[in-house]
Chain A
Amino acid sequence: MTALLEIENLNVHFALADGDVHAVKDASLSIQEGECLGVVGESGSGKSQLFLAAFGLLASNGRVAGKVKYRGEEILGAPAKRLNALRGGAVTMIFQDPLTSLTPHMKIGGQIVEALMLHRRVPRAEAEQRAREMLDYVRIPESARRLKQYPHELSGGMRQRVMIAMATITGPDLIIADEPTTALDVTVQAQILEILRALKTDKKTAIAMVSHDMGVIAGLADRVQVMRHGEIVESGSADEIFYTPRHDYTRMLLDAIPKAGEKPTPVTAVGAPLLTVDDLKVSFPVKDAGFLRFGKTQLLRALDGISFTLHQGETLGVVGESGCGKSTLARAVLQLLPKTGGRVVWLGRDLDATTQSDIRKLREDFQIVFQDPLASLDPRMPVGLSIAEPLKSLEPQLSREALRQKVRAMMQRVGLEPGWINRYPHELSGGQNQRVGLARAMIVGPKMLVCDEAVSALDVSIQAQIVDLIRDLQAETRLALIFISHDLSVVRRLSHRVMVLYLGRVVELAPSGVLYANPRHPYTRALLSAVLSPDPRAERVRKRELLTGDLPSPLDPRAQLTFLKSRLDQPGYRPRLEQVATDHWVAEHD
């Protein structure tokens, strides 16, 4: 029997200004019918280029050589007409960012129908019927109404489901899913993976799953290939790769995934807390886009009454999905955003009563590391100057020489070559840039550091290094940390206590060990259940407590009552936090 897709010795070169880049080196793989092949690798490993090249979708400066056979037919270098008939028909693709892969000015229905009419020559009425069925299949509620909406009206998870519907409606033999869940929240990721799994079992569609995340691959793939620097370094069945990896790189990838057992060194909270946050509220006015903007202004409550304390040396993990107010919390605590209510007390000093210029001086005490290492550094400022900048403004009395010494010492401390002071951010890798961000925050010797998704944009292996570095810095300086992440397993490695946010409110706050072992709130349970583990056997049989549908709009007054349906008749009611044990607080729920 011939394989569905067979790639032999595929090579991809890119001609860049600095010379040739050999992006894919002699890669060979095959996918049988109805099989799921997982392709894992970190960013820059060539895993996406491999499939783009195979189907003639390379950028114009790319060259490709080798053999690509679809059902025995050579398609590499085939005429555009043949490839167009294949792509979108028998072989479809799902990309990482569902917003950029959908045409913004076309309605969802039109886009799905277009694919069907083009490839299967189905009459319009029937195509629309099929489109509706397909949306139901990918579990989009109110499918008839959705068909008439534009992409920007849907949430990220919803859009990715539309992409899957589009990719499936022509009844393809093979779906190439390139990081299909990377841009999504964990709970939504779990839903999408369920749909893909159903596709594989119900429709016997073969799936090529490209991802950097071993957990995503574990539950779905029959066979796995590991790529590094354009080469396939190891391939085998999922069980072989996950349980008996042979190549060092595969082992390293698996080791980098945070394990359940890891715990931070315990601290004892003594004395007064460093930071006390009491009933913190932040809301943003949202304008209804009415004619000439005369619409009503509504208040979006990004943070709706958050209270917690933080002691020296302690780490508070903050988890929640996008839109839950994590980043707003970070910025409001650091006085980077105006708050609408509540108090932030730093070392007994109410920051409300403090003037802006005094707050600027206090910034020596609390610093922040951002999510996107490249975006948080000025592209036109050498990194040495970026690191020195807070010192320059906060300790202007320092001499140039002292400043230089401090920058060098700090760069060495975070594992950067001190000779790199004149480099620009684009000349460093993501992990190195994040070290620069960390150095910039640590150079003023803060007492508290807020990490806002500080490792989320990094490859797993780099992620582990940065987390270790943060932990070491904390041990040395007794730093208090607020560690914000959507990734529960990373939070677990660092946090003493964990706070779960849902639409701007705390739903559960507990010591980390307790929260992970004994989650009380259904939302916490859903979040934990959505966490993927690199364990194919467990993943295949695992029963998940999935949330259905999307996060409700925070503007909806009933949104807070998602887990307290019994009070739905009292819109505006806020679930109260109840103490269930010492240090363990849970919001009211049914």
Chain B
Amino acid sequence: MIATGQTLKAVAEIKGRSLWVDARRRLARNRAAMASLIILALVALLAVLAPLLSPYAYDEVNYDIIACAPNWWPAEAACRAPGHIFGTDSVGRDLFVRVLFGARVSLAVGLVATLVSLLIGVLYGATAGYLGGRIDTLMMRLVDILYSLPFVFFVIILMVMFDRNFILLFVAIGAVEWLTMARIVRGQTLSIKQKEFIEAARAGGVGPFDIITRHVIPNVVGPVMVYVTLTVPGVILTESFLSFLGLGIQEPLTSWGVLISDGADQMESAPWMLLFPALFMAVTLFCFNFIGDGLRDALDPKDR
């Protein structure tokens, strides 16, 4: 019995860890994910500090240097604009500061809309799937009805009702993105609900809400993460599509989507106008993908 007491004492040093603590440690060991996080943080920092980093304002028009290449541009160009490290756009605004301002909008829309869809979609889908029966039917038919609303029409109605507003962009995109998430999560929940460990939890007196948050949601995380990494670029592109229709961001404010679509028009005469925003967006999306992959692996204890 003395020996037992000693082992108990020694063992008392070992702290219990939850899945989330373990996941954080595993994520920290994933080099690609950590590098991506750092790059993403840098891009976000640049976006926040944008006004301090450039002597030009994002809406400062200069008709003397329309669509000029940066000084270091290796290929031949019609004109050069010294001091503008990414060159200038078709009304002579500094592209560097515009790309950073675009990052503010694109990152905000991408992250906020995705988080909103993640939060609503996962909770809604898991609840519908777990409760099942009539509640499930009712909840999912509501999703079907929302699905059938034409997206652009929906946005126009919002604009008419609430006036043009930056926040509306989040609302409009988030309101649509969570539907797919809810469906995916509900489907996964239906299969997880059948597993014995859910029954074991019920036998242990665990309530429905705790079962959903403790057992169902951690186990749907794989497909959810994959879908999230697909959602972020989708949302950023949706924003640029809305802006193109005049329903999103308005000039002189800009976003990566708008910059890229402008740049694509000038691709032959001024390739830098496409290159820089596209580069930023590509790197960012890569980072999101790596982080998503890393999170999925980190949350799967079977993966090493």
Instruction: Identify the A interface with B (CB < 8 A).
Output: 17-18, 331, 334, 336, 360-361, 363-364, 367-368, 370-372, 375-382, 384-385, 388-390, 393-394, 404, 407-409, 412, 418-419, 421-422, 424, 426-427, 437, 440-441, 444
Closest to A389 in B: B204
What residues of A have a CB within 8 angstroms of the CB of B265 in the complex?
none
Best-surrounded residue of B17, B221, B301, B302 (most CB of chain A within 10 A): B301
Structural contact, B205 and A393, CB atoms closer than 8 A: yes
Give 19 CB contacts A-B under 8 Å. A334-B203, A364-B205, A370-B196, A370-B200, A377-B200, A378-B201, A381-B19, A382-B18, A389-B201, A390-B206, A393-B210, A394-B205, A404-B12, A412-B7, A418-B11, A419-B11, A421-B16, A440-B204, A444-B205
* Chain A proximity of B87: nearest CB distance (Å): 48
A-facing residues in B185-204 (Cβ within 8 Å): 195-197, 199-204
Complexed CA–CA distance, A427 and B204 (Å): 23
Complexed CA–CA distance, A393 and B214 (Å): 12
A-facing residues in B1-43 (Cβ within 8 Å): 4, 7-8, 11-12, 14, 16-19, 22
Complexed CA–CA distance, A421 and B19 (Å): 12
* A363 with B203, Cβ < 8 A, contacts A380-B301, A382-B17 known: yes
Closest to A334 in B: B203
What residues of A have a CB within 8 angstroms of the CB of B210 in the complex?
393
* Chain A proximity of B252: nearest CB distance (Å): 48
Complexed CA–CA distance, A364 and B206 (Å): 11
* Chain B proximity of A159: nearest CB distance (Å): 23
Complexed CA–CA distance, A131 and B173 (Å): 62
Complexed CA–CA distance, A404 and B200 (Å): 20
B196 is contacted by which of A363, A375, A384, A427 (Cβ under 8 Å)?
A: A375
What residues of B have a CB within 8 angstroms of the CB of A441 in the complex?
203
* Chain A proximity of B19: nearest CB distance (Å): 5
What residues of B have a CB within 8 angstroms of the CB of A376 in the complex?
196-197, 199-200
What residues of A have a CB within 8 angstroms of the CB of B299 in the complex?
380
* A375 with B195, Cβ < 8 A, contacts A394-B204, A422-B22 known: yes
Is residue B304 within 8 Å, beta carbon to beta carbon, of the partner chain?
A: yes
Is residue B218 within 8 Å, beta carbon to beta carbon, of the partner chain?
A: yes
Is residue B207 within 8 Å, beta carbon to beta carbon, of the partner chain?
A: yes
* A426 with B200, Cβ < 8 A, contacts A381-B214, A381-B215, A418-B11 known: no
Structural contact, B196 and A390, CB atoms closer than 8 A: no
* A385 with B196, Cβ < 8 A, contacts A363-B205, A393-B206 known: no
Structural contact, B219 and A379, CB atoms closer than 8 A: yes
Is residue B300 within 8 Å, beta carbon to beta carbon, of the partner chain?
A: yes
* A336 with B203, Cβ < 8 A, contacts A376-B197, A382-B19, A404-B16 known: yes
What residues of B have a CB within 8 angstroms of the CB of A409 in the complex?
8
A-B interface pairs (CB < 8 A), number? 110
* Chain B proximity of A141: nearest CB distance (Å): 33
Structural contact, B205 and A380, CB atoms closer than 8 A: no
Complexed CA–CA distance, A378 and B14 (Å): 21
Sample of 7 more A-B contacts, CB < 8 Å, known A376-B199, A380-B299, A422-B16: A360-B205, A361-B205, A378-B201, A378-B214, A381-B215, A381-B218, A422-B17
Structural contact, B14 and A424, CB atoms closer than 8 A: no
A393 is contacted by which of B7, B8, B207, B219 (Cβ under 8 Å)?
A: B207
What residues of B have a CB within 8 angstroms of the CB of A378 in the complex?
197, 201, 214-215, 218-219
Complexed CA–CA distance, A378 and B204 (Å): 13
Structural contact, B203 and A360, CB atoms closer than 8 A: no
What residues of A have a CB within 8 angstroms of the CB of B215 in the complex?
378, 381
Structural contact, B302 and A17, CB atoms closer than 8 A: no
Structural contact, A418 and B22, CB atoms closer than 8 A: no
Structural contact, A393 and B204, CB atoms closer than 8 A: yes
What residues of A have a CB within 8 angstroms of the CB of B218 in the complex?
378, 380-381
Complexed CA–CA distance, A334 and B289 (Å): 45
* A379 with B301, Cβ < 8 A, contacts A385-B16, A404-B16, A408-B12 known: yes
Complexed CA–CA distance, A385 and B221 (Å): 19
- What 1/0 mask marks residues of chain B from 111 to 139 whose CB sits below 8 Å from any chain A CB? 00000000000000000000000000000
Structural contact, A418 and B204, CB atoms closer than 8 A: no
